[in-house]
């Protein structure tokens, strides 16, 4: 039986969540995801990625009050 890794790097985390690296970095900087730092490496818990994927994430409104997905 194969086990999921406990920690993954940023690039792998972005791939798991189907996000760009830039979006993942935004989620980290806005405290949506909590990284672990080991030396210079930034790692994320696989379990926290699963929990993040299960949560609801409402869209944010732009400056005109429209949701980003319906901005056109």
Chain segment 37-65, per-residue pLDDT in tens: 999 999 999 999 999 999 987 776 655 65
Global confidence as pTM:
0.73
pLDDT surpasses 50 at 25: yes
Judged against a pLDDT cut of 60, whether residue 71 lies above it is answered with: no
Give me the pLDDT at residue 6, please: 94
> DSSP 3-state assignment of 4?
coil
CATH architecture, domain 1-54: Orthogonal Bundle (1.10)
Nearest-angstrom CA–CA distance, 71 and 38: 40
C-alpha gyration radius of the chain: 14
How far apart CA 36 and CA 9 sit, in angstroms, is 10
Closest CA to 45 of 56, 57, 53, 36: 36
Complete edge-to-edge strand list for the sheet that includes strand 7-9? 7-9, 41-45, 36-38
**What share of the chain has pLDDT > 70, as a percent?**
79
Give 55's DSSP letter.
S
């Amino acid at each position: 039986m194969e086990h999921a890794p406990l920690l993954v790097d940023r690039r792998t985390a972005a791939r798991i969540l189907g996000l760009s690296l830039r979006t993942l970095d935004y989620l980290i900087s806005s405290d949506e995801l909590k990284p672990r730092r080991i030396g210079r490496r930034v790692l994320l818990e696989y379990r926290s990625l699963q929990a993040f994927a299960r949560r609801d994430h409402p869209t944010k409104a732009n400056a005109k009050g429209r949701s980003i997905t319906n901005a056109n």
